[in-house]
């Protein structure tokens, strides 16, 4: 049924911390690894070792640069800042990808809110991907069916794997702790508290999809240009003027006889 | 959006076919006439070829039978169901017209209404997509419906000129239908300037409060399904020229030819011009439909740096 459930008590989803994500793409690869052997058809690659390699992925990392108004851009630093931006299915409450589906392949589970594709019904028309503002759905070129994040539905309820692994593969693998999994329908859950404390937000709220996944904004910080200027004196390898003790003795000893006496005194 | 030929032929051919069937349903051609019989034959042919063409767009057509199941929520499913239902009255009328020289008035109305409902459903497949602001308007449905009627009227005019020695008032009706359809289309096209509607790179990333957001690195070095399907770029470069070609072939050429044909009713020139008008109009419609897809910008482009998809 491609009509949406009126409400789901549980709203399983991800909370993604844009402050801590380092853009290593480990979650992208962990996702591909798990899901190519798990739910439904494999995630195919086209010309994986050829001239134009490409393939289906359920999770992708974009990287943005943000320059504040009136900010200064010097080389690659100054006032601009870089934010790595992981993006996968947001398991929307008002998921247009579900209602547009003509075959009933696309559905949202009433019990936990996960949006899934039944590949035995999908005819590969691509309309769900058109309706998704987030680019969360990709047609698998080899299978001809639509692929999307399953929130690792075959891990999170899987009693044959250790309990610690019963979270989505991307969350399990993230080395920076930038991805969190939980029930966003429960205001007392860790993820809900995290969202409340850090001011988690929706992507493109104006599209009216009511996404379940939330994003945490990057924390306040000094402009990089300030940090560079402040750190310059101590960070410069030539500057040893205030070296004392053992290092001061080395500096003094090695400076003897060289044309320029103490480097730091220049 | 990527302009797939299968979908362009699907929408233009079924549009003209349903328009022609609807006009025949209204009783605009005497069932005793050869043009009415051929008209039904042609309408069914255009509809069937168009619908078959749409299945070429599918990645996994073996599951297409399921597409009739979700009419409660999906416009694509509704379109499928209505297309099948509409075959019933159109085929029955084709049978009575061709073999019995008989038109059933009430069934004609049922047929015409179902034809227009099917075209409306086709238009709503596109008009209901919020991510593509250009399509997300009632003007999409208005232009699909009006183009359908105009296409049917141009074809019927040619049939009458070819086989009945004159097309009566049909050229006038066709010219009016063409002009009205292109007025709707002109208003539709003006919405190009709205871009993504309310969505921006700031709202897509939620990072607008930090400053001006720009893409530093794409998530993948090569193309993927999204950039190929949603990020079609070639046509936008020539959009203005192609729009002029669409208006010339889809409106001006057929309208002028039909006007001359109206003045020279019954002459060989009139027949020739009426036939040329059909081909000109169909070419114009193919260009118009190509632009319908090619100039439509999808919100997901914002994650690829908005214009990043335009230039690569």
Q: A244 lies in a domain?
A: no
pLDDT tens for A21-48 read 999 999 999 999 999 987 889 999 999 9
Tracing tokens 């990645």 back to the chain, one arrives at B59
CB contacts of A31 in chain B (<8 Å) are none
Q: Which residues contact B162 (CB under 8 A, 6 or more apart)?
A: B35, B271, B274, B275
* Of B272 and A265, more confident: B272
Q: Which helix (H) or strand (E) holds B257?
A: helix B253-263
B273 vs B262: CA distance, rounded Å = 10
HEC states along chain A? CCCCCCCCCCCEEEEEECCCCCCCCHHHHHHHHHHHCCCCCCCCEECCCCCCCEECCCEEEEEEEEECCCCCCCCCCCCCEEEEEEEECCCCCCCHHHHCCCCCCEEECCCCCCEEECCCCCCCCCHHHHHCCCCCCEECCCCCCEECCCCCHHHHCCCCCCHHHCCCHHHHHCCCCCEEEEECCCCCCHHHHHHHHHCCECCCHHHCCCCCCEEECCCCCCCHHHHHHHHHHHHCCCCCCCCCHHHHHHHHHHHCCCCCCCHHHC
Residue-by-residue DSSP string for B208-248: GGGSEEEEEE-S-SS--HHHHHH---HHHHTHHHHHHHHHI
Say yes or no for a CB contact (<8 Å) between A139 and B229: yes
**Neighbouring C-alpha atoms within 13 Å toward the C-beta of A33:** 11
User: pLDDT tens digits for B186-237?
Assistant: 999 999 888 898 899 999 999 999 888 999 999 998 889 999 898 766 666 7
Contact (CB<8Å) A144/B58: yes
Q: Which residues of B touch A140 (CB under 8 A)?
A: 59
Give per-residue pLDDT as tens, A91-118. Answer: 999 999 999 999 999 999 999 999 999 9
Residue A218 has pLDDT above 50, yes or no: yes
In B, residues 234-263, which contact A (CB 8 Å cutoff)? none
Would strands A12-17 and A179-183 be described as parallel, antiparallel, or unpaired?
A: antiparallel
- Calculate what percentage of chain B has a pLDDT beyond 70: 96
Q: Chain A residues with CB inside 8 Å of B217's CB?
A: 62-63
B206 alpha-carbon distance from chain centroid: 37
Which residues are CB-neighbours of A236 under 8 A, at least 6 positions away? none
Contact state of B80 with A218 under an 8 Å Cβ cutoff: no
Tally of structural domains, chain A: 1
Residue with tokens 């939330």: A214
Domains of chain B: 5-57+66-208+215-311 (1.20.1630.10)
pLDDT class for A217, splitting at 50, 70, 90? very high
List of chain B residues whose C-beta atoms are within 8 Å of the C-beta of residue A80: 211
Buried b (16+ CB within 10 A) or exposed e, A89-103: bbbbbebbbbbbbbb
- Across chain B, mean pLDDT equals 92
Q: Is the pLDDT of residue B13 over 90?
A: yes
Whether A175 is in a domain gets the answer: yes
Residue A202 located in a structural domain: yes
CATH no. for residue A84? 3.30.70.20
In a domain, A259, yes or no: no
Q: Is residue A255 part of a domain?
A: no
Mean pLDDT of B96-118: 94
**What does the pLDDT read at residue B137?**
96
Least confident span in A260-264, B84-88, B193-197, B267-271 = A260-264
| Confidence band for A224, pLDDT divided at 50, 70 and 90 | low
Q: Does B194 touch chain A (CB under 8 A)?
A: no
Residue B70 to residue A61, Cβ atoms within 8 A: no
Residue A192 domain-assigned (yes or no): yes
- Is ipTM strictly over 0.95? no
Joined together, the tokens standing for residue B56 give: 């070429």
The pLDDT tens digits for A58-95 are 999 999 999 887 776 655 556 788 999 999 999 999 99
**Token pair belonging to A222:** 């000094």
Chain B residue numbers touching A69 (CB-CB < 8 A): 211-212
- Domain range holding A209? 12-216
A60 vs B: CB within 8 A: yes
Paired strand residues for A66? A81, B213
Q: At A228, is the pLDDT very low, low, confident or very high (cuts 50, 70, 90)?
A: low
Instruction: Please count the other Cβ atoms lying within 10 Å of the Cβ belonging to residue B181.
Output: 25
Domain-located, residue A2: no
Which residues neighbour B182 within 8 Å (Cβ) at sequence distance 6 or greater?
B247, B250, B251
Q: How close, in Å, is residue B4 to chain A by CA atoms?
A: 12
Q: Are A169 and A155 in contact (CB under 8 A)?
A: yes
For B250, which DSSP code? Answer: I
């Amino acid at each position: 049924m491609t009509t949406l459930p009126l409400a789901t008590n549980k709203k399983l989803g991800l909370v993604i911390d844009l402050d801590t994500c380092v853009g290593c793409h480990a979650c992208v690869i962990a996702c591909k690894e798990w899901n190519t052997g798990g739910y439904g058809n494999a995630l195919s690659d086209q010309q994986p070792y050829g001239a134009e390699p490409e393939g289906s992925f359920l999770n992708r990392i974009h990287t943005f640069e943000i320059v504040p108004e009136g900010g200064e851009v010097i080389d690659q630093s100054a006032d601009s800042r870089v934010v790595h931006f992981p993006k996968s299915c947001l398991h929307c409450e008002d998921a247009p990808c579900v209602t547009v589906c003509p075959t009933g392949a696309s559905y949202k589970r009433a019990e936990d809110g996960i949006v899934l594709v039944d590949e035995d019904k999908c005819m590969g028309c691509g309309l769900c991907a058109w309706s998704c503002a987030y680019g969360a759905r990709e047609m698998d070129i080899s299978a001809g069916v639509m692929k999307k994040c399953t929130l690792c539905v075959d891990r999170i309820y899987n009693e044959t794997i250790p309990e610690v692994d019963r979270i989505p593969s991307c969350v399990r693998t993230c080395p920076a702790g930038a991805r969190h999994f939980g029930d966003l329908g429960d205001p007392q859950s860790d993820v809900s508290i995290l969202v409340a404390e850090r001011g988690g937000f929706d992507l493109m709220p104006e599209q009216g999809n009511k996404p379940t996944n939330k994003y945490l904004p990057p924390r306040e910080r000094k402009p990089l240009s300030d940090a560079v200027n402040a750190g310059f004196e101590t960070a410069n390898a030539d500057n040893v003027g205030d070296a004392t003790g053992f290092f001061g003795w080395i500096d003094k000893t090695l400076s003897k006889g060289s044309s320029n006496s103490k480097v730091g005194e220049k | 959006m990527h302009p797939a030929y299968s979908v362009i032929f699907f929408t233009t051919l079924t549009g003209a076919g349903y328009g022609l069937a609807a006009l025949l349903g209204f009783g605009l051609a005497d069932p005793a006439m050869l043009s009415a019989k051929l008209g039904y034959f042609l309408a069914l042919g255009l509809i069937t070829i168009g619908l078959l063409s749409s299945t070429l767009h599918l990645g996994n057509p073996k599951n297409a039978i399921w597409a009739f199941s979700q009419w409660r929520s999906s416009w694509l499913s509704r379109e499928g169901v209505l297309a099948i239902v509409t075959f019933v009255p159109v085929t029955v009328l084709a049978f009575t017209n061709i073999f019995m020289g008989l038109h059933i008035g009430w069934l004609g109305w049922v047929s015409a209404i179902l034809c227009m409902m099917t075209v409306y459903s086709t238009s709503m497949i596109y008009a209901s997509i919020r991510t593509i602001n250009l399509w997300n308007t009632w003007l999409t449905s208005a232009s699909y419906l009006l183009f359908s009627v105009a296409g049917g009227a141009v074809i019927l005019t040619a049939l009458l000129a070819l086989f009945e020695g004159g097309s009566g008032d049909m050229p006038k009706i066709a010219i009016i239908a063409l002009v009205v359809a292109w007025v709707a289309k002109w208003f539709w096209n003006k919405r190009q300037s709205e871009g993504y509607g309310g969505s921006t790179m700031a709202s897509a990333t939620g990072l607008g409060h930090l400053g001006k957001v720009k893409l530093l690195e794409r998530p993948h070095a090569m193309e993927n399904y999204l950039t190929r399907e949603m990020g079609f770029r070639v046509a936008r470069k020539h959009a203005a020229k192609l729009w002029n070609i669409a208006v010339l072939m889809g409106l001006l050429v057929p309208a002028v030819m039909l006007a001359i044909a109206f003045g020279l009713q019954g002459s060989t020139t009139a027949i020739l011009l009426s036939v040329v008008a059909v081909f000109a109009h169909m070419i114009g419609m193919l260009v118009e439909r190509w632009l319908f897809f090619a100039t439509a910008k999808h919100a997901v482009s914002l994650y690829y740096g908005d214009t990043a998809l335009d230039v690569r």
